[in-house]
Structure 1
Amino acid sequence: MASTPENPKTGTPAGTTRIVAGETAKPRGRRTLEIGLAVGLVLLIGAGAAIASAVSRNNESQPAAAPSAAAELKLGYFGNVTHAPALVGVSKGIIAKNLGDTKLSTQVFNAGPAAIEALNAGAIDATYIGPNPAINSFVKSQGESVSIIAGAASGGAQLVVKPQIATPADLKGKVLASPQLGGTQDVALRAWLGHQGFKTSTDGSGDVNINPTENAQSLKLFQDGKLDGAWLPEPWASRLVLDAGAKVLVDEKELWEKGEFTTTILIVNKKFAAEHPETVKALLKGHAESVNWLNSAPAAEKASEINAALKDTAGKPLAANIIERSLQNITFTIDPLAGTYKKLLQDGVDAGTTKQADIGGIFDLRALNEVSGKKTSAAGLGQD
């Protein structure tokens, strides 16, 4: 089986530059874990508290400028199959082509909270991301930080566990992983455990211990017997199943009406969007073209292109059976499924990673609908 190394190599497609970010040393002892989790929680809360003031200062310190095309668009995404619209959009040059004279640079992340931090700091202008970090940023900035401008993928997240774990009750006292504290899979795991009657804490304590861990490290820890399971996006759920002998305890689609839930969306910094609406529209044209390609390409060609892009971001391709299983679980769509966001918000509240709030205005789908020629609904939570 092919494996993905822990020290990713980068590739640079024509017309783009890439910076790989988010690689950190992993904790090796319980004390280190507790400190890391505590620091992560402080950063999550502290960053949220700082977002509103940072965004406000950034907006107030700059004079209003006439909208114009940006000289550069800095785009974030993850090396996951659920981010295939970004992977093929970058590797095939689709996004760069639509941006025209605007330079495209890219940055690869492991999970959403780190991408949000970069977006609010101005290190990137737009990013593919899971919905919960976007909701959290919007709430903590009082609606000033980000806009959701499109969907990208639905499905493709599972709780995979050791074979001997037969029921949710068997998870008591076990150690599970998620990609990052406050990320979409982290929130889904904590909310689901709460519905099973388990108490969890963002410091890692509780009836079930949750250890936010970088995806590649979760695979290794599971193989070494140091994890009992993990709630992961594709291809990592498939890697634990096919490479490490895990089994699926929960397929997240079972928890949603019609089996539809958002895994990946496209968001933009509000200030950038206000200053460069034509650049945002060009990005959306490239994004929609990438999604259309994924939905029309022959299965073998699609798998090959995604795998080549993953090799470019991670250093090695995945095994064919992992790509195949991953793609079976994912639907690529420009629809962000806005009707699911009130539940996503409540899941974040239940998980202890966000607070109850009004998320009206989180969507701005006007440019998407103009580009696509279709009416994608904001479900009353913004403009469409």
Structure 2
Amino acid sequence: MKKLGWIMSLILLVSLVLSACGQSKEAASSAVTTTVKIGILKNVTHAPGFIALQNNYFQDAFGKNAKIDVTAFDNGADFATAIATDQIDIGYVGPGPVINQYLKSKNIRVIAGANNGGAVLVARKDAGINSVKDLVGKTVAVAAKGGTPDLSLRLLLKQEGLKVSSDTSGVQIVTRAPADTLVAIRQKEVDATLIAEPWGTQIIQEGTGTILVDWNKIPPKDGNYPLTILVASDTFLKDHRDLAKKAVKANKQAIDFIGQNPNKAYEQISDELKQLTGKGMEPALIKAAIDHLKLTEDITLEDINEQAKTSFDAGYLKVKAEELDFSKFLDLSLLNEVKKEK
């Protein structure tokens, strides 16, 4: 009997040890943290991303075992390099830089839209510019070569039969950061600018410029072109497709929130800008930006192809014409799944 009792005690002890080990493994498993590296530009036109961060839509969607690491970029080119080299996983950017990067690395996918339009053509008040044709012999500033406003400007000039040149025979395009453009307009260093909001509104409010072409007349498609999109790296889509889908859902949630709660959204956008840049923005300026764009999660291959062709014609894409195939660049499978689950 003593021997039987000893055996029973040993079995009980082993069971307790095994049970404890199992619980330890389960606890360790639940504590595993996935870091999602989100990239975003410091522009109001990236508002859906700001709202998704401010309202914890990404965090709530990813779950408590996910850690979010946000990197703010000054320009799309740096963003595109970062996502192509897996420094970030997912984020918001303009189409131009990632179109260029995709042709080099083929490892980035567009998974949703964020907003369309949002840029205006502003002329300096005393520059003698009353129509687009008056831009001949003038200097027009854009934020970056190959950026969406640059491509839109080139399309607009082409529509009016004007050429881009380095002398007064055509329109001279120069690059200036938006903040520097405000100064350049004041100091009469440039005559006009095609610039994303709210910078255009700031120039108008200062009294130094007037709107020459409003946002809903800017090509292509009268302002209904993608200015900000949501993209993901191939690595992230392969390893964490579920999280990418949740990001698409959070993006749509943010777009809906802005439409339903505009005044609150303006404050939250300002708060996120302050976190990213150290400085917020007046709600009135944010409202001007949001009023001059179309928030949408939708995007089409036609949109991408049109911007790519303009970039190619401008000499920014160093490939052969037959290599301009973006059928795999756009992956709307996640967005379509999110829409079906409504």
TM-score calculated relative to the size of structure 1: 0.72
- Give 1:95 shift: 1.3
Query: CA shift at 1:272, angstroms?
Result: 2.2
Secondary structure of 2:156 counterpart: helix
Matched, 1:146 2:126: no
Alpha-carbon distance in 2 for matches of 1:110, 1:132: 15
Shift of 1:252: 4.4
Partner of residue 332, structure 1: 295
Aligned twin of 1:182: 146
Unaligned stretches of 5+ residues in structure 2: 1-31
Amino acid corresponding to residue 237 of structure 1 in structure 2:
G
- SS for the counterpart of 1:364 is coil
Instruction: Report the AA paired with residue 128 of structure 1.
Output: Y
Deviation at 1:86, TM superposition (A): 0.7
Q: Aligned to 2:102, what secondary structure does the other structure show?
A: helix
- Answer whether contact 1:219 1:244 (CA < 8 A) is retained: no
d(CA) in 2 for partners of 1:368 and 1:146? Answer: 16
Whole-angstrom distance in 1 between the partners of 2:89 and 2:167: 32
Q: Map 1:82-101 onto structure 2 (within 5 A).
A: 82-100=45-63, 101=65
Distance 2:142 2:167 in 1: 11
Contact 1:261 1:337 in 2 (8 A): no
1:372 corresponds to 2:336? no
Unaligned runs of 5+ in 1: 1-68, 376-384
Q: Measured at CA, do residues 167 and 291 of structure 1 come closer, stay the same or move farther in structure 2, by a change above 3 Å?
A: same
1:110 and 1:179 in contact (8 A); partners too = no
Which residue matches 1:157? 119
**TM-fit CA distance, 1:149:** 0.1
Equivalent residues in 2 for 1:12-51, closer than 5 Å: none
Q: How many pairs align?
A: 303
Moved beyond 4 Å, runs of 4+: 203-206
Corresponding residue for residue 102 of structure 1:
66
| Distance of aligned partners of 1:206 and 1:137 in 2 relative to their CA distance in 1, 3 Å threshold | farther
- What amino acid sits opposite 2:325 in the alignment? D
Which structure has more helix as a fraction of its residues?
2
Work out which of the residue numbers 10, 13, 38 in structure 2 matches 1:75: 38
The letter for the 2-side match of 1:341 is I
Q: What is the deviation of 1:239?
A: 1.7
Paired residues of 1:187 and 1:353 also in contact (CA < 8 A): no
The counterpart of 2:226, out of the listed 256, 259, 262, is: 262
Amino acid across the alignment from 1:224: Q
Q: Which runs of structure 2 are paired with 1:344-355 in the superposition (5 Å)?
A: 344-354=307-317, 355=319
1:296-307 alignment to 2 at 5 Å?
A: 296-297=260-261, 299-307=262-270
Q: Check the 8 A contact 1:223/1:244 in 2, yes or no.
A: no
Out of 229, 233, 240, which is 1:276 matched to?
Answer: 240
Q: Point out the more displaced range, 171-180 or 310-319.
A: 310-319
CA-based RMSD of the aligned residues comes to 2.5
Listed as ranges, the matches of 1:235-254 within 5 Å are 235-254=198-217
Q: Tell which deviates more after alignment, 88-97 or 334-343.
A: 334-343
Deviations 1:310-336 (A, max 9, x none): 233233332343222222112211112
**2:137·2:168 contact (CA, 8 Å) conserved in 1?**
no
* Bigger Cα displacement from structure 2, 123-132 vs 257-266: 257-266
- In the alignment, the residues of structure 1 paired with residue 57 and residue 168 of structure 2 have an alpha-carbon distance, to the nearest angstrom, of 45
Match of 1:219 in 2: 182
User: Counterparts of 2:297 and 2:130 in 1: how far apart (Å)?
Assistant: 36
Structure 1 residue 151 displacement after superposition: 0.5
In structure 1, C-alpha distance between the alignment counterparts of 2:50 and 2:99, rounded to whole Å: 23
Work out the CA distance in 2 between the residues paired with 1:350 and 1:249. 25
Deviations 1:295-319 (A, max 9, x none): 221x321222222222332333323
Q: Partners of 1:292 and 1:222 in 2: how far apart?
A: 36
- SS of alignment partner, residue 199 of structure 1: coil
Q: Write out per-residue CA displacement over residues 43-78 of structure 1, whole angstroms, 9 at most, x where no aligned residue.
A: xxxxxxxxxxxxxxxxxxxxxxxxxx9821111112
CA distance in 1, matches of 2:172, 2:109: 33
In 2, the alpha carbon distance for the partners of 1:97 and 1:304 equals 21
